[in-house]
């Protein structure tokens, strides 16, 4: 891709349009929030057009900033700062300081970029053609994918002069640990697996991150392969693809046959609670899972048919219940543990996140999605293809020596 000349302005702070209801208080973060202490960046590219209120492209920045200021009143914790309470727990200090905002200008048109997503960071970049890009950086402690999309889409509605029909449900205390805590499961996601030296050596190589495309034809072939021996009667696309990625990644890394490995699944628990979390719940509603089903040896996983891996994934997902998630919350309350990534792969699906519905008044983005990858090779992220919605892109990191092997395994589908 050609070089892009971007003139970046100085960061400014956009405060809430008025004092918020939680100003001066500490905002509680649940134990599920603590599972994800990382930043997530996404980008949205909008082609030039006149917006619905008659604003021209030159007013993009002011429209977006004013809408952000109003959105921060409703989503008041976003205007605060992370801190620690008197018990050493992380919380949000609702200072009403506001959000960091940066404006930039690029000396090219959007068409010159093509379909390559450019990492713009947390800023608004205007192009010479009148189009613009928004880069948004959020902390996963405050947002999960669903909550983040709710916030961004609400921000867009405000920019278009619309009111929010349903405000966010801000009370995270509904996910408080029980008193006393009741740990009812083993919670294998926190199990420490001893790594054989061969696995540790992989970290000495250059790690290459790449997106692998799975169209509908490949996905149907994987589902057929997962059920052909009858061990699995039927399976979802997510289950088939997760089993294939876990198995093929293990083969590509040449993990020793006697090495124990585990699969961690990030599952949306909103509908699993009894009663379910409010639809507009603001906070992390996802949980990292690894029941005893998703622990295997590398030899078992690679030598057995795909149905073996898919079956493990399926049983784990089917075992997610209100009791299990509440037990997880209580386990974290007692142990303050973090999921162990040794010998592990963690899979998260962003396929249902509505990146392409965001509209600030200039229409929907022609290109949008995640633009940075977690700084570890134990992660795989599933994303809907930006144009073919039933196709899936899988973002993965591999040591250079394993990348070619993994690509060959995909070609065999």
CATH number of domain containing 101: 3.30.559.10
Which of residues 173, 200, 232 is at a domain's end? 173
3-class secondary-structure state, position 270? helix
pLDDT at 20 over 90: yes
pLDDT value for 265: 93
| Arithmetic mean of pLDDT, 344-363 | 90
pTM value is: 0.88
pLDDT in tens, 270-317: 999 999 999 899 999 998 877 656 889 999 999 999 999 999 999 999
CA-based nearest residue to 147, from 4, 279, 314, 331: 279
Q: Identify the active-site residue in 93, 96, 268, 359.
A: 359
User: How many residues in the chain?
Assistant: 413
Q: Do 133 and 98 reside in the same domain of the chain?
A: yes
pLDDT value for 109: 61
pLDDT at 118 over 50: no
3-class secondary-structure state, position 142? coil
Q: Is 140 a catalytic site residue? A: yes
pLDDT in tens, 220-266: 999 999 999 999 999 999 999 999 999 999 999 999 999 999 999 99
Structural domain of 377: 188-352+369-411
Least reliable range by pLDDT among 65-79, 117-131, 312-326: 117-131
Q: Identify the active-site residue in 140, 144, 150, 195.
A: 140
Q: Do 218 and 261 reside in the same domain of the chain?
A: yes
Q: Do 222 and 288 reside in the same domain of the chain?
A: yes
CA-based nearest residue to 32, from 277, 319, 333, 321: 333
pLDDT in tens, 241-252: 999 999 999 999
| Residue 358, in any domain of the structure | no
Q: Is 359 a catalytic site residue? A: yes
Q: Nearest 5°: phi and psi at 286? A: -100, 155
């Amino acid at each position: 891709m050609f070089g892009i000349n971007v003139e970046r302005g100085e960061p400014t702070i956009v405060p809430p349009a008025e004092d918020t209801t939680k100003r001066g208080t500490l905002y509680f973060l649940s134990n599920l929030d603590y599972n994800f202490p990382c930043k997530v960046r996404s980008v949205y590219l909008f082609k030039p057009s006149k917006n619905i209120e008659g604003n021209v492209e030159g007013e993009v920045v002011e429209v977006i900033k004013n809408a952000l200021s109003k959105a921060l009143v409703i989503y008041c914790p976003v205007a605060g700062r992370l801190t620690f309470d008197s018990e050493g727990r992380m919380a949000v200090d609702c200072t009403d300081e506001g959000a960091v905002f940066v404006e930039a200008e690029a000396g090219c048109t959007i068409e010159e970029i093509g379909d390559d997503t450019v990492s713009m960071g947390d800023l608004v970049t205007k192009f010479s053609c009148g189009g613009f890009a928004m880069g948004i950086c959020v902390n996963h402690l405050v947002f999960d994918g669903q909550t983040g999309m709710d916030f961004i889409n609400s921000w867009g509605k405000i920019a278009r002069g619309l009111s929010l029909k349903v405000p966010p449900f801000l009370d995270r205390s509904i996910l408080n640990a029980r008193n006393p805590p009741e740990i009812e499961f083993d919670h294998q996601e926190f199990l420490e697996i001893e790594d054989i030296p061969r696995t540790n050596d992989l970290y000495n190589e250059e790690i290459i991150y790449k997106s692998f495309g799975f169209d509908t034809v490949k996905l149907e072939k994987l589902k057929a392969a997962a059920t052909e021996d009858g061990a699995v009667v039927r399976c979802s696309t997510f289950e088939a693809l997760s089993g294939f990625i876990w198995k093929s990644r293990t083969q590509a890394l040449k993990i020793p046959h006697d090495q124990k490995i585990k699969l961690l699944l990030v599952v949306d628990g909103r509908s699993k609670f009894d009663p379910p979390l409010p639809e507009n719940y603001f906070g992390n509603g996802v949980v990292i899972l690894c029941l005893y089903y998703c622990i295997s040896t590398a030899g078992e996983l690679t030598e057995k048919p795909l149905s073996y891996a898919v079956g493990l994934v399926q049983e784990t997902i089917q075992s997610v219940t209100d009791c299990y998630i509440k037990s997880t919350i209580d386990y974290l309350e007692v142990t303050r543990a973090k999921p162990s990534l040794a010998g592990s792969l963690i899979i998260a699906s962003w396929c249902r996140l509505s990146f392409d519905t965001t509209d600030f008044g200039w229409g929907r983005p022609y290109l949008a999605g995640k633009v940075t990858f977690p700084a570890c090779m134990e992660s795989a992220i599933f994303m809907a293809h930006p144009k073919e919605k039933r196709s899936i892109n899988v973002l993965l990191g591999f040591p250079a020596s394993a990348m070619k092997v993994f690509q060959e395994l995909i070609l065999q589908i």
